[in-house]
Amino acid sequence: MNVKRMILAVALVAGATAAFAQKEGTTDKHDETVTFRPHWFMRVQGGAGYTLGENDFGKLTSPAAALQAGYRFSPVWGLRFGLSGWQGKGSWVAPRTDYDFNYLQLGADAVVDLGNWIGGFNYRRFWNPYLFAGVGGAVGFNNDGAQALADAGNDLPYLWDGSRFFGVGRMGLGMDFRICEAVAFNLEGNANVLSDHFNSKKAGNADWQFNLLAGVTIRFGKGHAKKAEPAPVVVPPPAPKAQPQPEPQPEPKPVEKAVPVEVKKPEPMQQDVFFALNSSVIREGEKSKIEALATYLKENAEAKVTITGYADKETGNPRYNQTLSQKRAEAVAAVLKAAGIDGARITVDAKGDTVQPFGSSAQNRVAICVTE
């Protein structure tokens, strides 16, 4: 396995992870709003490092570890500080000799949460990928292997002894797999670019150190807050307009024929049936409204009803909300039919989120039933 293959594998994992994050939903099924809460976290990792050089991948692989602490400012952005390192390796071509040295790296990284960026904030998401980039400094020490090569007469122009400081630029990809509210299993790959002096050899270009790490991420405090939405305010149906009183007419003369009795039309009825977020299930508290509507239709055999479903535009997307509002209207119609109302007297319509009949999101999750 060479470096190009390792980079390709990381890119494939990033693409698959981003796709997973995009498909997962971001809304809670209960009548509550979930918001992000800033928090601190710690990450402990261990794994393997690879110092780019002129030998097989396995011969330039060495142990690596990292300890990080950070703060999440928003669902997408965070900042972390870390101490990492352990061992780097180099290889001398003639005679073929591999040597190792130790280093410690202190750095600061900006972190972007890809799951929340692409798929929206979801505190229950199982698989959250993140990208990071940053800068830092590394101190190399215990370079005895390279020193022994120089003592044997080999020319290492960038040989350093004792300890040496190197500036570092770094970037990488990581993934957190949720175990519980506060703990996640972590995988991370990073690439570090350092001075050409890092492995004591003169190559005319920067040196690279790659790390593949696994560990745990521990969050301190809750990363989200829940707020119950206010109960919908039931708006009473508009009162029927007063009919103009007929002008007094002179008393008709009595006739033998019977006077036909005027049949009064019943006053119209409106019932607003409210639903839970992302749901088309009739709630217990709303069933009495449908029962009253069924009683009205049974008592007024000529009356018909139009049921129009709606969805709030703050949740979901237009296509999904159109389907959801249709299901809400059909759910009310199904209860009326089960109560014995002829389907020919029921008209079902759906407006999705194109029309918002009320002023709050909770009230716009509704099916409005109007008789005529």
pLDDT in tens, the chain (372 residues): 455 555 455 445 444 544 444 343 344 444 568 889 999 999 999 999 999 888 788 888 999 999 999 999 999 999 999 999 999 998 888 778 888 999 999 999 999 999 899 988 888 899 999 999 999 999 999 999 888 888 888 888 898 988 999 999 999 999 999 999 899 999 999 999 998 889 888 888 899 999 999 999 999 988 888 776 666 666 676 766 666 666 777 676 666 665 565 656 778 999 999 999 999 999 999 999 999 999 999 999 899 999 999 999 998 899 999 999 999 999 999 999 999 999 999 999 999 999 999 999 999 999 999 998
Nearest to 111 by CA among 81, 131, 138, 91: 131
Place of tokens 């215990």: 142
Ordered structural domains, the chain, with CATH: 3-226 (2.40.160.20), 265-371 (3.30.1330.60)
The tokens of 326 are what?
Answer: 């249709």
Q: For the whole model, what pTM was predicted?
A: 0.56
